Every structure is written in structure tokens, then in C-alpha cells.
Amino acid sequence: MALNEKIGTKRLVVGAHYGTFEYLAQRVTAIIMAVYTLVLLVGILTMSGFTYQGWHNLFTFTVVMMPIGQILGSLTMISLAWHAWIGVRDIWMDYVGHVGVRLFLMVMTLLWLVGSVVYFINILWRN
């Protein structure tokens, strides 16, 4: 009765619901990026001219003394990095068999994404 031993509270569950959080994170970050894309599209369509000041105002607009443009831009960049991390990490886990190479690629990907977010936020928030 080896088959019956795996049923009940002593059953070893492997892989069940481990991807739920990543699935939801992918969907939420995609929604954030889609909303920001629509905000940028509306901003571009209502921009008076394609000047430096117009582009600057597109990313640094304020609403009631709150830097909404910078907050939305930062949130979107963080969402983009998180979205990319989940996707690229899954690619490395699925297609790179050697553990050392996979770890190296994951660390390099993570460093690149964190560096990109820091660089973007530095550019967006400096005066």
C-alpha cells in the first residue's frame, strides 16, 4: 500500500502554489506599467511642443505640491525591474543546467537591474 502512504497529512507536496506570488507580481507590475504608459501617452499628446522643457515637465509634473510625475516614474521603473527579474530568473532556472553558471547569471542580472533602477531614480530626482 505504498500509494496510500502519500495521501493525507504526510503527503509531500512539491511545486504546488510556489509560482502564485510571481504570477500575481507579473500581473500587478504589468498593470502599473500600462497605466504609466497611458499617462505618458496623454502627456505627449497634450504637450505644446517637443522641447526640453516639455519633456522635463512630462516626467516632473506635480499635483497639489506632490511630485506625481517622479513618483509614478520611480514606481514604474521599480515595477519594470521586478517584472524583468521574474521573467529572466525563470529563463535562467529553466534553460541553464549548470548551477554555478545559473547563479552567476542570476547575480549579474540582479546587479544590472538594481543598477538600472538606481541610475534612473538618480536622474529623475536630481534637480
Annotated binding site: 83, 95
State the binding site for a ubiquinone.
95
Q: At what angle do helices 68-95 and 99-125 cross, to 10 degrees?
A: 170
State the binding site for heme.
83
**Nearest Cα residue to 22 out of 108, 113, 98, 88:** 88
For residue 66, report the phi and psi dihedrals to the nearest 5 degrees.
Answer: -105, 130
